[in-house]
Chain A
């Protein structure tokens, strides 16, 4: 996410309907957004829909958009809100039963990720087992590259809460991975 410095000019171009500007914005933020959506939803298919909806909605509103913060902040907020809405609509029981089976199929990353695909797959599965509020904080901090202050503002919680949730999440992940290592 290196685009935020040029948000204003890019957004101005996008507001004029400049397709190249939209493509630049999309390519800059797509992987982070799909990761965040996938970890909030614990499934890739829904994450793709969220990504699609975020950018199509952005395309519709770009001409009228009144950006209060950064473009990145706007897109992440839009992504998290949509993922949360979708999550609420889904059958939680069905989601839990298949979530761990779904997540390993998410691996579609580059070569360096493929080399540690096993660990990544286990990590995704472990992350999926965390409570939703901890997943949000972890994925926004790690994949959204947001500071805790920004994560807290985006989720409407205090910085301390965000940091606490992050620490609990990491402890839980360590425990899950250690247990899996011992079992294997």
Chain B
């Protein structure tokens, strides 16, 4: 009879082994599953930081070590702070600060100042905290802090070998703090070869959102996709670039998926983030545009219903986009939103299509039109009182004009009086937007104030005042707009055409048809586009005929406008004619 040891030995020998064929079959199935889940992971995969955290949370040794470190830190802190009231507030140091976990605005502001003080006093600390709550603009330390960050990252050799952690949830528009985070947009200021660790962390809102808008914000790639992203890690340069490119690649998929989100804010953020990477040191090999799927998505974003998405997408269309890109740019050159036309004009010019865009030089003031804040919706965070104060007192005319625009856009009736006063502002842009806002909200004295400037020296103020009067139902405004179609100031003439189109009153069709025969090409082009809303009415045939005629115009710009108008007219007619 065998001993127990022999029995155990025999049992070991009885161990089975899989055959290579079985291994192949099972591994093939496993890999198929991995491939299947790769796309899902790309969209919702945990970030590398999360993976590291998971490793930490699931390692007993690290847990034990962490507990010991915390206990040690508490003991040391208590010893150091003995007799100081017991508050744990260690001084500045490379490890950052242990901040109190209060969520009040006061605590948030204290944290802001605290972080700012830390950086201001210790310029060699590359750990920047930009905290979550927005401090009142006049008290904000952010511009100084931003300047410090820019100084540190712009080719400053002191950054070499230093860990860098950016916790960035603020955005700046003309020196004013904004609530959204702009990590990727700002990434191009960071030379990844010069730093050891770049960690971009976008803080989530302090309190879980309860409304739909808040939840949509959480779906925003700025809020989630980038949180905890580790862009580069301690290694040789080549590996750091690889890590950065990996991150670009992974984020690219997330952001491309976000371009299909039903929420326009999410799409807007995604395209802006993609633009942030595009052509920057963080995206050194031009990954974005080389990929066919990415290119297709960006071209599609150029036709997005939301103008902000179209605007950013337009800036991303390089010469490599070929014929498709040029077709899109031509379409965007006649976009209903003025701001969207600018990149189209600029890029078409770069492509050598000066023949088309040249006439626009006469009517586009690049700098001024760019000044129209594309981030108007961000201004919602400021109170009406703040906006009125800015309108009255702010030293920058851009801020005053934005405030004038915002007050009308969101219909604050109490702003009528300050807007009337703003009609006397020294800068015509402020007067222009104040006139527009008065046309939107009306109120006592609005018409009289508008009548006073409808013959203003500046053509664009005249147009806006006339439009405002017309919008308030005063026929003098409409008549003035019609008269302005023949104004010597070409800029006023084209804006009048545009305003008449926007008003949508059918009696504007005849003067606009007449304007299609104006001697100035750009007026003919604007008139062709302005006629689109009337293409279903009693002047449909006349408009079609005029458009056909313009397709053979001597000016390439007018021909392109006629083609764009024809395309949009066909889209307008589909619902009308079934």
Point out residues on A near B: beta carbons under 8 Å: 8-9, 11-12, 15-17, 19, 22-23, 26-27, 30-32, 34-35, 38, 44, 47-48, 51-52, 55-56, 59-60, 63, 66-68, 106, 108-110, 112-113, 116, 119-120, 123-124, 127, 138, 142-143, 170, 173-174, 177-178
Contact = CB atoms under 8 A, between A and B. Distances in A.
Contact of A174 (B7, B30, B34, B55): B7
A173 B19 CA distance: 27
B54 A12 contact: yes
Contact of B12 (A17, A23, A142, A170): A142
A16 B23 contact: no
Given A15-B54, A67-B58, A177-B2, A108 B16 contact: yes
Nearest to B31: A19
B22 interface: yes
A47 B33 contact: no
Contact of A113 (B13, B27, B51, B54): B13
Contact of B37 (A35, A44, A60, A120): A60
A52 B18 contact: no
Interface string B3-30: 0100110111111111100110111011
B11 A142 contact: yes
A2 to B, nearest CB: 15
B33 A60 contact: yes
Contacts, number: 126
Contact of A143 (B2, B15, B54, B55): B15
A26 B13 CA distance: 21
A44 B54 contact: no
B59 interface: yes
B147 interface: no
A66 B51 CA distance: 11
Given A123-B10, A170-B4, A38 B16 contact: yes
Contacts of A17: 34, 37-38, 41
B1 interface: yes
B215 to A, nearest CB: 22
Interface string B29-54: 11101100110010001100001101
A-side binding surface: helix, strand, loop or mixed?
helix
Contacts of B11: 123, 127, 138, 142-143, 173
A60 B7 CA distance: 39
Contacts of A108: 16-17, 19
A178 B8 CA distance: 15
25 contacts: A12-B51, A12-B55, A26-B23, A31-B16, A31-B17, A35-B16, A47-B16, A51-B22, A51-B26, A52-B29, A55-B26, A55-B30, A56-B26, A67-B58, A109-B17, A110-B17, A112-B13, A113-B14, A119-B13, A142-B8, A143-B11, A170-B4, A177-B7, A177-B10, A178-B1
A62 B59 CA distance: 16
Contacts of B58: 8, 66-68
Most A CB contacts (10 A, CB to CB) among B14, B22, B29 go to B14
Contacts of A47: 16
A40 to B, nearest CB: 12
B13 A63 contact: no
B16 A44 contact: yes
A174 B26 contact: no
Interface string B108-134: 000000000000000000000000000
Nearest to B58: A67
A71 B242 CA distance: 30
A63 B44 CA distance: 10
Nearest to A27: B23
A174 to B, nearest CB: 6
Contacts of A109: 13, 15-17
Contacts of B16: 31, 34-35, 38, 44, 47, 106, 108-109
Given A142-B8, A177-B2, A177-B7, A120 B22 contact: no
B239 to A, nearest CB: 16
A176 to B, nearest CB: 10
A135 to B, nearest CB: 11
Contacts of B7: 170, 173-174, 177
A162 B68 CA distance: 37
Contact of A52 (B13, B26, B31): B26
Contacts of B59: 8
Given A31-B15, A55-B29, 15 more contacts: A11-B55, A16-B45, A17-B37, A26-B23, A26-B26, A26-B30, A51-B18, A51-B22, A113-B13, A113-B15, A119-B13, A142-B11, A173-B11, A174-B2, A174-B4
B34 A19 contact: yes
A68 B59 CA distance: 9
B18 A15 contact: no
Contacts of A170: 4, 7-8
A127 B8 CA distance: 12
Contacts of B34: 17, 19, 22, 59
Contacts of A44: 16
Contacts of B38: 17
